[in-house]
Amino acid sequence: MLQEEDKKYNISIAVPKGYLFDVCVKMLDKAGYDTVALRTDSRKLFTFSEKDMIRYVICRPMDVPVYVEQGACDIGFAGKDVLAELESNVVELMDLKNGRCRIIIATLEGCEEKVKKKYEHFGSIKVATKYPGIAKKYFDSKGMQVEIIKLYGSIELAPVLGVSDEILDITATGTTLKENNLVEMDNVMISTTRLIANIVSYRYKFEMINEIIKKIRGK
């Protein structure tokens, strides 16, 4: 019996873990692909569909563009927020119009004027985020000097604990913001899921990749 690493496949697809995982699996299923292996409860980092000759690599959302850019995967599903943060050198094939979220600026409710006056007085404020690249570009475009504090989770806690004056974070419903007594100050960008491809793979596996695009589009 073949070991998994020895199995043959025609194309390799990076699928993100987390909230986008089910969205992507349902989309592949609707497009007619065999998703049984993906739906199996497993800790494996990759799996195969022998029916479709596809290898699926299951990874962190932030790693999808990296694996695709480096050629470890031919195509993948990534949020626009991740692509904007990493500025990956990949081909953005299509906007899948799902997994919609917003990148926003927020602060503690009732502190909007306080933060504004602090910036006017000191010329800088602290902003906590897991998107330092997006944050820098946003505040640079506003001509504002800020100290960016990178966090990896629970960004909403930063202003509550006095670590930062504002946060730049992603939100789908705004519920977590409200639960932590935070209010939106500005909308930075809208993020949806994108299908991306490795530059070389898109050239040499164009027909296979184009077939996947057609099936996802339902054509």
Residue tagged 């000191």 (tokens): 122
- Kindly state the percentage of the chain with pLDDT values over 70: 95
Q: Do residues 93 and 119 share a domain?
A: no
Same domain, 12 and 83: yes
According to the model, what pLDDT value does residue 7 have?
67
* 71 shares its domain with 148: no
Residue 2 confidence (pLDDT): 41
pTM listed for this prediction: 0.90
Domain match, 198 and 96 both: yes
User: How many CA atoms within 13 Å lie on the side-chain side of 95?
Assistant: 7
| Domain coverage including residue 37 | 4-100+192-217
Residue 157 predicted with pLDDT over 60:
yes
**pLDDT tens digits for range 47-95:** 999 999 999 999 999 999 999 999 999 999 999 999 999 999 999 999 9
CATH number of the domain encompassing residue 168: 3.40.190.10
